[in-house]
Amino acid sequence: MTVRAAVAGASGYAGGELLRLLLAHPDVEIGALTAGSNAGSSLGEHHPNLVPLADRMLVDTAATELAGHDVVFLALPHGHSAALAAELGDDVVVVDCGADHRLNDPTAWERWYGGEHPGTWPYGIPELPGGRDGLRGANRIAVPGCFPTVSSLALAPAVAAGIVEPEAVVVAVTGSSGAGRALKPHLLSAEVMGSASVYGVGGAHRHTPELIQNLSAAAGGDVAVSFTPVLAPMARGILATCSAPVRDGVDAEAARKVYDQAYGDEPFVHVLPEGSWPQTSATVGANTVHLQLTIDWDAGRLVVVGAEDNLTKGTAGGAVQCMNLALGLDETAGLPVAGLAP
């Protein structure tokens, strides 16, 4: 089975990462590559690393260019996916890497993104409880945000098993590629290098409702989440430190057993050996999440640390994994588990 795939927003970071992975996919033929203001230029001008596609020309992002493909990946700014997807038929699998279709609650959408809620699509973290069932055979898929991917996987087993109280604190350090490729003064190298800074503090980051949605679903009840993102001087990667109050009677052995049972058979989520802690460099370019956990007995909290590449498992790799499930392909096809280190 050969799948013909188009990538809308191919000149951006997420689009480029999608193409890197699709080039290695045994069942994919790469079709149309589209862009907004970069239409008319060659892909190589934006992604010189993608040598096999360097001479391909970017065309306008329009439904006429995307029609006729088996799969369309939308690597577009938030708010641009819904209208375009509505023009594509049900015979096309549309995988949205933006936020347009992630949230279930229209009120939450209006609060965090504004405007009318564009609807909810099957959610793209297969490793969450019931995640794969919603993705198999789906023709519309919402890829999660990069922070919710690693943080949800870090805490979902604990809240699902009831070994922690339903309140979590997440502090996640990220690289500047998570903000996309558009020029932003605060992301210039002179501003980022040699400095770390917080943003979206006090529940102001748009990934907060997504985290709450995921953990509440895993817990079967409301989970409160305090989320603080930290910008660090690196290009890519997320290191998330996630904690929650541990319940009486739970010890380190019981907590680890919960995580081993949750992820022991997962190809992309790895609970590291005791004493080994996640680092972003080990996940760069890989569709993996590395986890480690302990109990801070003085604070009475379970602490889970997770690392991922925000562009791979956190975006493009997760999107390809979801495509594989939707089309009945090998879930691991085209997806590396070995990171690029050093």
Residue 287 burial (CB < 10 Å; 0-12/13-18/19+)? buried
Burial of 278: CB neighbours in 10 Å, binned 0-12, 13-18, 19+: buried
Alpha-carbon span 204 to 48, nearest angstrom? 36
**Cβ of 252: how many Cβ atoms within 10 Å?**
14
Measured distance CA(35)–CA(42) in Å, rounded: 10
Neighbours of 84 (CB within 10 A): 20
Give the residues across from 84 on adjacent strands: none
What CA–CA distance (Å, rounded) separates 285 from 28? 19
* Count of all residues that appear for the chain in the document: 342
DSSP letter for 167, please: E
Which H or E run includes 142? strand 140-142
> What is d(CA 106, CA 116) in angstroms, rounded to the nearest whole number?
8
In three-state secondary structure terms, 319 is helix
Residue numbers annotated as active site: 146
Residues 6 or more apart whose Cβ sits within 8 Å of residue 202: none
279, 307 contact by CB (below 8 A): yes
Rounded to whole angstroms, how far apart are CA atoms 55 and 49? Answer: 12
DSSP state of 177: G
